[in-house]
Amino acid sequence: MSSLQKHHIVPTYKCKELGLTTSYKIGGKEFYFKENMVEVSRLDHAYIHNGYGTSDLEPLLEVCNPPQWVIDMIPLGDKRDRASAVILAKGEIDGIDISGENNPRWKGGIWANDPVAWKKAHNEVYKQTPKYKAQQKAYRLRKKLEKQQEQGTLKQFIG
């Protein structure tokens, strides 16, 4: 038995980035703007998200025909949709690749779930920024002043 799932044509994360309300409640009942919602089977849902990740709208257009202004808001090529496709497919669809650089957690040559490697790579890049250098300069100056004040205070008590 294939149950239907609600699919946001423009994904919720994109609506949030655009500042759009994806849903609202009236009297405890949830509503959506109708142009952004379609009911599809779980596998069709997975194919649609995989299509978004590979910049292919064909799986979406097979199940519905949204207005052009909604299609224009769809983020094509976003790795997060490929990850959604893997979860929805439950291993029943071959060819969805989220390994290595295709993984949404892949950041700058490393996988972000490795906290030690990610922090090391992040720090190597961040320590070269003017913001970091200014913060370090201010920190060193503040520590120097605190040390001078501490030494001056000790001299007052000794002398």
The listed range with the strongest mean pLDDT (6-10, 31-35, 39-43, 88-92) is 39-43
Greatest extent of the chain over all pairs of C-alpha atoms, in Å: 89
Percent of the chain clearing pLDDT 70 (strictly above):
70
Q: What is the pLDDT of residue 110?
A: 61
The model's pTM: 0.56
Window from 11-25, 63-77, 91-105, 119-133 with minimum mean pLDDT: 91-105
pLDDT over threshold 60, residue 144: yes
For residue 134, tell me if it sits in a domain: no
In a domain, 110, yes or no: no
CA distance 35 to 64: 10
- Whether the CB-CB separation of 31 and 24 falls below 8 Å is answered with yes
Q: What is the pLDDT of residues 103-134, one digit of tens each?
A: 666 666 665 566 676 677 777 777 888 888 99
In a domain, 123, yes or no: no
- d(CA 22, CA 26) in angstroms, rounded, equals 14
Asked if residue 1 is part of any domain, the answer here is yes
Residue type (1 letter), 37: M
Specify the number of domains making up the chain: 1
109 occurs within a structural domain: no
Q: For 63-73, what is the mean pLDDT? A: 86
User: Residue 1 above 50 pLDDT?
Assistant: no
Residue 47: partners with Cβ closer than 8 Å, 6 or more residues away: 59, 85, 93
Tell me what pLDDT residue 28 has: 64
Residue 30: domain span:
1-97
- Beta-carbon contacts of 54 under 8 Å, excluding residues fewer than 6 positions away, are 77, 82
In a domain, 64, yes or no: yes
Residue of 155 and 37 predicted with greater confidence:
37
Asked if residue 102 belongs to a domain, the reply is no
Residue 105 confidence (pLDDT)? 65
